[in-house]
Structure 1
Amino acid sequence: MAPVTEDGGWSALAEGWAARWGGVSAPARQALITACAIGPGTRVLDVGCGSGEFLADLAAAGARAIGVDASPAMVAIAARHGDAREADAAALPFGADSFDVVTAITVLHLTDDLDHAVLECARVLRPGGLLGIAEWGDTGRNDLAVIEQALEAALAPDAGGAAGLESGGAAEGAGPPHPTPLDLALDAADFRLVAHGEVEVRVRATDADELATTVLLGEDEATIGELSAVIQTAAEPFRQLDGSYELRNTFRWRVVSRG
């Protein structure tokens, strides 16, 4: 999902993002619909709605859903699926107690003011309302991390920049988990954990060129050409017999309650 506190260049990537990444979180979206008991008439706000795929899912469940995103181009695409509006996560344009459920998928870690964004989610929820969150899981359980680590090694000491595991999941087996900034923000806003779990999500590409373009979404053609061999080598374990690629990854989701 696109950042929600500033456009950050996401408008230029909107169509590509929708085509290549918009469907990836589908299993996590369905997990949140189930865990939050979203059904006919449920008032839902999707923060950082990106290209709007969740709005379509929510409409199919009978919910009364609104999506917000800071990128005008993302909002334009999301509007194809439902009610989408341009807004900042730290200044949601809704009154208190307006929603039964607020959702945020791979987005809260991107906000400029995480604490305030979480407080805004709490403010617009009715008492007892639910906040459903989904993020990329531990890097040790994400095939995309293998490619990202190869890119970081190739680009060292100027590593970084590729699309993919935006949430920066912790390495598996790195010791006891420490509270994340999101954990602390949720605690400070007096949210309590209701449910949590994991789902598998898959990233697919028809060939090596499509995989490179997907992973390096937003980079220029020269950069993609320079790094495509690195990606192809790292992704060899995930190549299928027909030459396509399938990368298996994990999303962690949780549902917390206000009050």
Structure 2
Amino acid sequence: MNPLEAALSNPWAALRELTDDPLHPGGAAATRELMDRADVAAGTRLLDAGCGGGESLALAAERGARPLGLDRDPGLDEELAIDAPVVRGDLGTFPVRDDSLDVVLAECTLCLSDDVAGTLAEARRVLDEGGRLALSDVVTDGEDGERRLPPFVGGALCLTNGMDRDRERLRARVERAGFEIRGVRDHREDLLAMRDQVAEQVDLDGLSSLMGDRGDDLREQASELSGKVENGTIGYVSLVAEAV
């Protein structure tokens, strides 16, 4: 497989080469701020659902929390020297006892779930009463924001699995799962910064010229995606909700 094919088949891996970890808008600063809002402190029992390379596990450990990672394909960054257990699993069933956690962290991972309601129900199951769900994810305003995009751009923002991304319906789903929302924050500027960072490092014209007719479609859709991010049709939000 040549580099172009590899990038198109795995846009997340390609983006990881272009952006600073953690691989979500706002990076580590946004993670720290989300942890502040979720009261992650010394002794906090935290599950990072979809822990990836473990960057957020390391940030939680810095606070003296007791983090546990969950990922379908664990691959911790060895440079982080993370001292936290990680279990293999998916977002459909958390291998954790009922009422055993204080915080479930889900940064840009809910969109990867095949059953969002089931994942939220699992988060509620494992949280003790008063526990907090801290999540961030890509959202849309209306159906237009969910138009199918080519893998490289749609996959980069997890907009290709058919999940309903409307921001108001996301709030409703969280509440139906047994949570009371403490607050929601918009991260439009972080998403714009990530878009600009990728745009600076990707030669879109050169890439599309190698793809023939598909390249014209890629260029058009990338421009459309950029416009939707700019006008807020596609956004990025974080929320903290308390188990009730």
- TM-score scaled to structure 2, two decimals? 0.68
Return the offset for 1:258: 0.6
How far the C-alpha of 1:126 sits from its partner, in A, is: 0.9
SS of 2:35's partner is helix
CA deviation after TM superposition for structure 1 residue 190, in Å: 1.6
In the other structure, the counterpart of 1:132 is 134
TM-score using structure 1 length? 0.64
| Residue identity opposite 1:77 in structure 2 | L
Corresponding residue for residue 75 of structure 2: 76
User: CA separation in 1, counterparts of 2:215 and 2:118?
Assistant: 40
Q: CA deviation at 1:12?
A: 6.1
* 1:61-110 deviation line (CA, Å, top 9, x unaligned): 2221112111x2xx123576433321111111111122110011122132
Pair 1:165-2:157 in alignment: yes
**1:100 match:** 102
Structure 1 range deviating more: 184-193 or 200-209: 200-209
Q: 1:164 is aligned with what amino acid?
A: A
Contact 2:131 2:243 in 1 (8 A): yes
CA contact 1:133–1:253 (8 Å) conserved in 2: yes
2:185 pairs with one of 197, 204, 216: 197
Match in the other structure for 1:20:
18
Equivalence map 1:47-62=2 (5 Å)? 47-62=49-64
Counterpart secondary structure, 1:89: coil
Secondary structure of the residue aligned to 2:94 is coil
Q: Which segments of 5 or more consecutive residues in structure 1 lack a partner in the other structure?
A: 1-10, 153-157, 171-176, 239-247
Give CA-to-partner distance per residue, 1:177-197, whole Å, 9 cap, x none: 7x42x3343232221111221
Task: Answer yes or no: is the 8 Å Cα contact 2:103–2:132 preserved in 1.
Answer: yes
**Alpha-carbon displacement from aligned partner over 1:107-127 (angstroms, at most 9, x marks no partner):** 213211111111111111111
User: Which runs of 5 or more residues in structure 2 are unaligned?
Assistant: 1-8
* DSSP-derived class of the 1:76 partner: coil
Cα 1:208–1:128 change in 2 (3 A) is closer
Deviation at 1:139, TM superposition (A): 6.9
After TM superposition, give the deviation of residue 138 of structure 1 in Å: 4.7
1:226 is aligned with what amino acid?
G
Closer, same or farther: CA 198–208 of 1 in aligned 2, 3 Å: closer
The CA RMSD over aligned residues, in Å, is 4.0
